[in-house]
Amino acid sequence: MLKRTIRYILIWALLFAMADASTDREYKNIKYDAMLNGYSYPFKTNTFALKSQNQTLQMSYMDVKPTANKPIKGNVVLLHGKNFAGYYWEKIATTLQKEGYRVIIPDQIGFGKSTKPTHYQYSFYQMALNTFALLESIGVDSFTLVGHSMGGMLATHFSYLYPKNVSKLILINPIGLEPYLQYVEYKDTDFFFAKEKKKTAKGMRAYQKKNYYDGAWSEAYEQLLIPHIGQMNGDDWELIAWNNALTYSPIFAEDITSKFKDIQTKTVLIIGTRDKTGPGRGWKKEGVEKKLGEYDTLGKKTHATLPNSTLYELPNLGHMPQVEDWDTFIKYFEKAIAQ
């Protein structure tokens, strides 16, 4: 009986490994350039010519108008996380569109269909400035600002710089809820560049499976990897990897926790409490024992620090609650929008 059980386990392990390898081979013919040409976004993309740091850059964005015959309730701006770009906001944008909102979804410089410069001094202040210039160019001066993951750090900086323009701030499992450099070593961009160049589809899948989805995997999760896999297969991967590396610096160098006390904008935190995302936990300072990324306590701590905030905790959900459990997430998101 034991031998049969072991045999079954080995067979299933082999089948899983073959399926995983097959998936990787399946994608070998998918190739995208630095601007993700050939990859279709859920809505029409536009470009904004941005003059920044002695160069002209193209900032891609989607401008999703409300469903026909609906009065405009307001504007919502969606800011993506580091491992994604604007395309992953499709379901939320469609919901908001049906409810009468105009939705603007930028790809930050260095991400998605926007320019990947060979040199650029990335900071959240610069990204906020770029985003403000884009919104100003299309006549959007008052809006609800939504940020997920790294987008939450950007949204916080944006609200700090432009408080009169942000009518409400919604943060979905933002990173940066703890001052990382108190606990981890600062690393040169070359450190991250080397890590980026070693990335594989299998490795990305394993990372997200473990850190985002509690060991589970689905076709919906898989689809979010395709743009990255296509770019890894393409001729521009080294340039993309370099920009990926450059955008790590502000995550560590630009603490948002010190700004919370100064943000008076009404803020809603939507926190999947199973999230354990902790940038830098692999290179903590000597002697540091603190566990990074404990969102079951970070959400409460942030709520206590933000003067005008509401906290919605989503038990048993992780870093991507909007993808992992849409039905649960959307109930709280719509509460946040309606407040």
Res 29: pLDDT: 86
**Count of structural domains, the chain:** 1
Nearest 5°: phi and psi at 97? -60, -45
In tens, the pLDDT along 42-52 reads 999 999 999 99
Q: Is the pLDDT of residue 163 over 90?
A: yes
What is the tens place of the pLDDT at every residue in 22-80? Answer: 445 458 889 999 999 999 999 999 999 999 999 999 999 999 999 877 788 999 999 99
How far is residue 246 from each of residues 12, 121, 191, measured CA to CA in Å?
A: 40, 8, 10
Residue 18 lies in a domain: no
Does residue 8 form part of some domain? no
Is the pTM here over 0.85, yes or no?
yes
Residue 67 located in a structural domain: yes
CATH assignment at residue 128: 3.40.50.1820
Examine residue 2 and state whether it is found in any structural domain, yes or no: no
Is residue 28 assigned to a domain?
no
Q: What are the C-alpha distances in Å from 275 to residues 18, 174, 271, 295? A: 29, 10, 8, 6
Structural domain that includes position 200: 33-338
> What pLDDT sits at residue 18?
40
Q: Residue 10 domain-assigned?
A: no
Residue 5 lies in a domain: no
Q: What is the pLDDT of residues 76-113, one digit of tens each?
A: 999 999 999 999 999 999 999 999 999 999 999 999 99
4 domain residue, yes or no = no
Q: Identify which has the larger pLDDT, 238 or 71.
A: 238
Q: How, if at all, do strands 166-172 and 267-272 pair?
A: parallel
What's the rounded Cα separation, in Å, for the pair 126 and 216?
36
Q: Residue 109's closest CA among 98, 122, 96? A: 122
| pLDDT band, residue 14 (cuts 50/70/90) | very low
